[in-house]
Every structure is written in C-alpha cells, then in structure tokens.
Amino acid sequence: MELPLFVVLLSCLGALTVARFSFFLIKYLYIFFLRPQKNLLNYGRWAVITGSTDGIGKALSFELASLGLNLILIGRNPDKLREVNDEIKSKFPSTTVQNVTIDLSRDLTDGVRKLEEAIHDVDVGVLLNCAGVSNLNTSFLHELEEDLLMTQLRVNLESLTATTAAVLPMMLRKKRGTIVNIGSGSTVAIPSHPLLAVYAGTKAYVDSFSRCLHAEYKSEGIHTQCQVPLYVATKMVAYRGSSFFAPIAEEYAKSAVRFIGYEPRCMTYWPHFLQWCLATLVPDFIINHFRLQHGLSRRKKS
Ligand SMILES: NC(=O)c1ccc[n+]([C@@H]2O[C@H](COP(=O)([O-])OP(=O)(O)OC[C@H]3O[C@@H](n4cnc5c(N)ncnc54)[C@H](OP(=O)(O)O)[C@@H]3O)[C@@H](O)[C@H]2O)c1
C-alpha cells in the first residue's frame, strides 16, 4: 500500500529533526563531559589575570596555578593582592606569583607601563580579563550615578582593551598565546538586560571585540575567546546565593579552564547552557517583560 505524500514528507521531517537533535545532544555531551582540556603550558609558562582578587578571577588564578602556570595578578587593592598571592603560594609552593597594583577605573597610562614592565622578561601565554563592575542595584540610565557609569565603561571596556593591547605584542613575537575575556550571558542568551543597560552594553563590546581579535590573530597562533557565563554566586551578584544554576566561583572556574583554547564564544558551565537552550524557546517579549519586572523588583528593594 502506498502512503500519501504528506505522510512520507512528515515522516522525513520527523526523522531529520530527531537526527539533528541527537547530533546536537551528542556534540554537547562530548564538549561538556569528555573533551580533553588543552595543555595551557603550550601557550607559555605565565598567565596574567585581571580581577584576580575576588570571584571568578581569583578562582581561575588557583586553577591556573594548579596546572603549573606562574601568575601575574592584577588588582587595585595591595592588601587583597598580597592575601591571594600568599594563599596561592601556600597551596602551590612551586608557583611564582607576582602582584601588579592597578586601579583599572583610573587613568591607565601608569598601569599599562607597570604591566609592560612586569611581563617584559617572562613568557606570557595566557591573558585572563576577568575584572568587571556592575551596578548591584538595578537602575534606569537617567538614575545611574555618573561615577558608577564611568567606572563600568573604564573597567569593563577600556581597561580590558588596554591590557589586551599591552600583552598582544609579546604573544605576536612568540606566535602563540590565548586571551580569555569574560563577557556575559546577558548579552547573548537573553534579548535584553533592562535596568543594567550600561553593564550589558559593555559586555556586548567584550563579545564583539573578542570575536574580531580571534579572526585577526588566529593565523598568528593567538586564540581569543569570550566566555559568557550566566549567574555565578560572587559579590557582583551578592543578592543571589549559589544554586544549581548559579555555581560558586570555584565551580565555574573548573568548567572555564576546560574550554580555554576551544570555541571563540562559549558558555562553559553546562546548567547555564541548558538555561540558554530553554531561553531560545521563549519569545523575546516574554523574556524582556520578565527581566524588566525582575529589575524593577530589585530596584524597589534597594
Ligand atoms: N557573577 C556573575 O554572575 C557574572 C555573570 C556574568 C559575567 N560576569 C563577569 O565575570 C567577571 C568577574 O566577575 P565576578 O562575578 O567574579 O565579580 P567580583 O567577585 O565582583 O570580582 C570582580 C573583580 O574585578 C576587580 N575589580 C573591580 N574593579 C576594579 C578596578 N577598578 N581595578 C582593578 N580591579 C577591579 C575586583 O577587585 P576587588 O577584589 O578589589 O573588588 C575583583 O577582583 C566580570 O567581568 C563580570 O562582569 C559575572
């Protein structure tokens, strides 16, 4: 008996959908759970980390030390830098750790000079740009204090650009290196981030900047990546505790190092990725409405 054409077409479509979904599932199961980590020492013996005194940057510093890299920690607070330096050296005695004090929200002329001096004689293979600032209390743009607005632009965007430009020439000479910029899922996984417009805008810059650098320098042996996490329970989002979807920084950092050297843009923590996949099924206007209400409720509380 011959089947009607529409039944045959529907069956083909169904089979194709199942095949596509299976391929997607297998690919991401491999990426998240089976793919081997790159040997980061192949890029160079040293890593430079901004935002190393707290949260994600601090946790990543420990991860890199555990892999045998020596560290140049950048931070604005010398006491906090010293504390992190001591903690890392007591846990990993063979690691050499240098501190460079730079306030990334100020004029960067001196800071860049200090960084250039610090990296002059060492083989820097990894640059992690983790420093970041957000307005903890959500607000409309016209309510945002100018100081906080400018600090976000300087730390999230200007300083990230300047540190990258300072480290790149050394990587170019060696023809190897990897740059990891921490962007945000708020710019790729959801259509908007109302009441955090400046923060989200700076992170969109980080995403675009990273992808351009990757295209520019890939052939020179320099890999650039933008990681786009969703919530991670750090002081930046102090109103939120840790949960299945909001890991502590140490847990996030473990997932983050496994992705270094792979996709130019990635969400490294699998429950974040799951959230991202689910968000694609929801129409933009519903997410925008939900995000705005969430922002407004936090604004009232503040
Ligand atoms: N937490 C999240 O949910 C989340 C989600 C997506 C993306 N991100 C991004 O992840 C990165 C790390 O954030 P986090 O959650 O780890 O935040 P965090 O715990 O607040 O850490 C931010 C780091 O940046 C440093 N920093 C801030 N202002 C600075 C300045 N003027 N000069 C030098 N260093 C400065 C901080 O130094 P101090 O120790 O002196 O404060 C700290 O080391 C940021 O780029 C953030 O945008 C975070």
DSSP 260: T
Q: Is 30 a catalytic residue?
A: no
- Give the residue-averaged pLDDT of 20-38: 96
Nearest-CA residue for atom 25 of ligand 1: 51
pLDDT at 15: 93
> How far is the C-alpha of 106 from the C-alpha of 150, rounded, in Å?
10
In the predicted structure, residue 269 carries a pLDDT above the cut 60 = yes
| Any domain includes 175 | yes
| Any domain includes 83 | yes
pLDDT at 8: 86
> How far is the C-alpha of 150 from the C-alpha of 281, rounded, in Å?
35
Contact 257, 210 (CB under 8 A): no
* Residue 256, domain CATH: 3.40.50.720
Contact 39, 13 (CB under 8 A): no
> How far is the C-alpha of 256 from the C-alpha of 267, rounded, in Å?
8
| Any domain includes 93 | yes
pLDDT at 302: 52
pLDDT tens, 188-245?
888 899 999 999 999 999 999 999 999 999 999 999 999 999 999 999 998 889 999 9
Alpha helices in 77-226 (DSSP H): 78-91, 109-119, 146-153, 160-174, 197-217
Closest approach atom of ligand 1 to CA 199: 47
| Any domain includes 297 | yes
Q: How many domains does the chain have?
A: 1
Domain membership of residue 185 as a residue range: 39-301
Residues having CB within 6 Å of any atom of ligand 1: 51, 53-57, 75-77, 80, 103-105, 130-134, 155, 182, 184, 229, 231-232, 234-237, 249
| Any domain includes 16 | no
Of 43, 199, 217, 252, the active-site residue reads 199
From 48, 151, 232, the mutation candidate for ligand 1 (largest count of ligand atoms within 8 A of CB) is 232
| Any domain includes 99 | yes
* Share of residues in the chain with pLDDT > 70 (%): 99
pLDDT tens, 113-146?
999 999 999 999 999 999 999 988 899 999 999 9
pLDDT at 300: 65
- Tell how far the Cα of 235 is from the centroid of ligand 1, in angstroms: 8
| Any domain includes 243 | yes
| Any domain includes 11 | no
Chain mean pLDDT for the chain? 95
pLDDT tens, 54-111?
999 999 999 999 999 999 999 999 999 999 999 999 999 999 999 999 999 999 999 9
In the predicted structure, residue 148 carries a pLDDT above the cut 90 = yes
- Tell how far the Cα of 88 is from the centroid of ligand 1, in angstroms: 19
- Give the residue-averaged pLDDT of 171-194: 94
pLDDT at 240: 83
299 by Cβ neighbours in 10 Å (0-12 / 13-18 / 19+) ranks as middle
- Give the residue-averaged pLDDT of 166-175: 97
Contact 146, 16 (CB under 8 A): no
| pTM recorded for the entire structure | 0.95
pLDDT at 108: 97
> How far is the C-alpha of 171 from the C-alpha of 165, rounded, in Å?
10
Residue at token pair 């040293």: 46
Backbone angles phi, psi at 69, to 5 degrees: -85, 145
